[in-house]
Amino acid sequence: MLGLDHLINPAYAASGFAVGTLVGFTGVGGGSLMTPLLVLLFGIHPATAVGTDLLYAGLTKICGSFVHGLNDAIDWRVTGRLASGSVPAAVVSLWALSHFGVDSKGTSVAITTTLGFALILTAVTLLFRRRLLAAAAGFLDKRSDGESARLTVALGAVLGVLVSISSVGAGAIGVTVLLMLYPKMPTVRIVGSDIAHAVPLTLLAGAGHWWLGSVDWALLVSLLCGSLPGIAIGSHFASRVPERVLRPLMAGTLALVGGRLVF
């Protein structure tokens, strides 16, 4: 039986620590950072990078969801609406990956292209969140609860496709749109509901990739060993770093990486 030192890859653990620290600082989902890092820096197959990162995200967000639940910071109605759209969309997306072959060249191109556009969209939402919220306020304030529910289900479906194919989307994109749809809801409940929804979505999508054979368990262990302490350290020092510095820096990085993957 292999010892722990043979299971943990120091380079992957160091990358996990760096990404975990940035996630702690910014709150941006790890998939926006981890998946492109694995693909571009380490040459990991796109499907393996996505599948491994999905399980990594699901396991790390269970703790966050538990804490938000204890603090009554989850609106389970909103979470249910998101899941009713995302779960079927994730199942269809995983079926499509299976049908076309997860290791095929076409699937790899589809994953990297979707990942690139998702990163660019995430960068846009980070940079222009306030302007997007202000622009949508007049329209969305007039929507009935039934219309908001249908739009939430539609958002869930979009996130289900994005997350299953690229592992990106449930963080900045999801929170921004939820803030538009539920402007009167406290931000902490928006964030808590989004995290709670991300747990079943990422675990389902990750299990699907496991079934497809696109999960590297040794890679997953190495990433967790580095990212968990990184998230703790980043969260501890987050209040000391100005958001006006971190947000543009993160958005610019995501836009550059997204452009590299698309073009």
Q: Give per-residue pLDDT as tens, 70-86.
A: 878 889 999 999 999 99
Instruction: Judge whether 12 lies within some domain.
Output: no
Comparing 245 with 202, which gets the higher pLDDT?
A: 202
Report whether pLDDT(51) > 70.
yes
Give me the domain span that covers residue 185. 17-262
Do residues 259 and 116 make contact, with C-beta atoms less than 8 angstroms apart? Answer: yes
In a domain, 142, yes or no: yes
* Contacts with 58 (C-beta within 8 Å, 6 or more apart), sequence order: 198, 199, 202, 203, 206
Mean pLDDT score, 101-105: 82
The secondary structure element, H or E, covering residue 57 is: helix 46-70
**Amino acid 68: pLDDT:** 76
Please enumerate in sequence order all residues whose Cβ is within 8 A of that of 123, keeping only pairs 6 or more positions apart, or say none: 250, 251, 252, 254, 255, 258
Min mean pLDDT across 34-43, 57-66, 232-241 is at 232-241
pLDDT value of position 88: 96
Alpha helices in 128-262 (DSSP H): 129-140, 145-166, 172-181, 187-212, 217-237, 243-262
Domain membership flag for residue 5:
no
Q: Is residue 190 one of the residues assigned to a domain?
A: yes
In a domain, 2, yes or no: no
Residue 156 confidence class, pLDDT cut points 50, 70, 90: very high
**What are 123-139's pLDDT values in tens digits?**
888 788 788 878 777 66
pLDDT in tens, 157-195: 999 998 899 888 777 788 888 888 888 888 778 888 888
Question: What is the C-alpha to C-alpha distance for residues 150 and 145, in angstroms, rounded to an integer?
Answer: 9
Q: What is the pLDDT of residues 237-257, one digit of tens each?
A: 766 666 666 667 777 777 877
How does residue 101 score in pLDDT terms, banded at 50, 70 and 90? confident
**6 assigned to some structural domain:** no
Say how many domains are in the chain.
Answer: 1
- Helical ranges in 10-45 per DSSP H: 10-26, 31-40
Q: What is the pTM of this model?
A: 0.80
In this structure, is residue 121 part of a structural domain?
A: yes
Q: What angle do CA 98, 61, 91 make, to 5 degrees?
A: 20
- pLDDT of amino acid 83: 94
Tally Cβ neighbours within 10 Å of residue 183: 13
Whether 87 shows a pLDDT value over 90: the answer reads yes
| Domain contains 163 | yes
Q: What pLDDT is stored for residue 2 in this prediction?
A: 45
